[in-house]
């Protein structure tokens, strides 16, 4: 028999082993139609960053969320000639944080990436490379 308890904004649900043995009757709740951030995109009408945008893939939350927000904000609001060139420290802090959590933030190995790129440039067996003299000389 399950029971729940409200604690602040969170609902805590306790379940028994028997509860887990029966099929779930949980219903998914649709997104809140009154959510002011719903369907706003990355940049809100006032120019602020929408940290709830699904396009960020959850990067604004999690163990490195604050570092991500700092780096992304710096880049977004950067006025430098080379946009974001003033944000190196923030991106370095974000990268250092992400390296502490390789399971959450997997990184491609540079050698694997270079190998993949070079293979992408090689012609496949169905491709034929033809050189043609267009200058008219023999």
Task: List average pLDDT for each run of 10 residues in the chain, which is 138 residues long.
Answer: 60 73 58 57 89 88 93 94 95 95 81 58 52 50
Cα distance between residue 102 and residue 60, in whole Å: 17
Confidence (pTM): 0.53
Cβ atoms of 71 and 30 closer than 8 Å: no
Q: What are the backbone dihedrals phi and psi of residue 49, each rounded to the nearest 5 degrees, phi first?
A: -80, 135
Cα distance between residue 37 and residue 41, in whole Å: 8
CA atoms within 13 A on the CB side of 72: 16
DSSP class of residue 46? Answer: T
Query: Buried b vs exposed e over 54-82: b needs ≥16 C-beta within 10 Å?
Result: eebeebbeeebbebbbbbbebbeeeeeee
Bridge partner residues of 49 (DSSP): 43
Question: Which residue is associated with the tokens 């293979």?
Answer: 119
Residue 24, SS3 per DSSP: coil
Cβ atoms of 87 and 74 closer than 8 Å: yes
């Amino acid at each position: 028999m399950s029971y729940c308890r409200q604690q602040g904004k969170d609902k805590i649900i306790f379940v028994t082993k028997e509860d887990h043995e029966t099929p779930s009757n949980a219903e998914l709740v649709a997104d809140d139609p009154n959510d002011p951030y719903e369907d706003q995109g990355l940049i809100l009408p006032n120019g602020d960053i929408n940290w709830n945008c699904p396009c960020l893939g959850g990067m604004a939350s999690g163990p490195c969320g604050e570092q991500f927000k700092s780096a992304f904000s710096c880049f977004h609001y950067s006025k430098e000639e080379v946009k974001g060139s003033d944000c190196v420290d923030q991106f370095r802090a974000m990268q250092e944080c992400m390296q502490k959590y390789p399971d959450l933030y997997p990184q491609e190995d540079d050698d694997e990436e270079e190998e993949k790129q070079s293979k992408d440039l090689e012609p496949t067996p169905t491709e034929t490379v033809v050189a043609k003299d267009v200058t008219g000389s023999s």
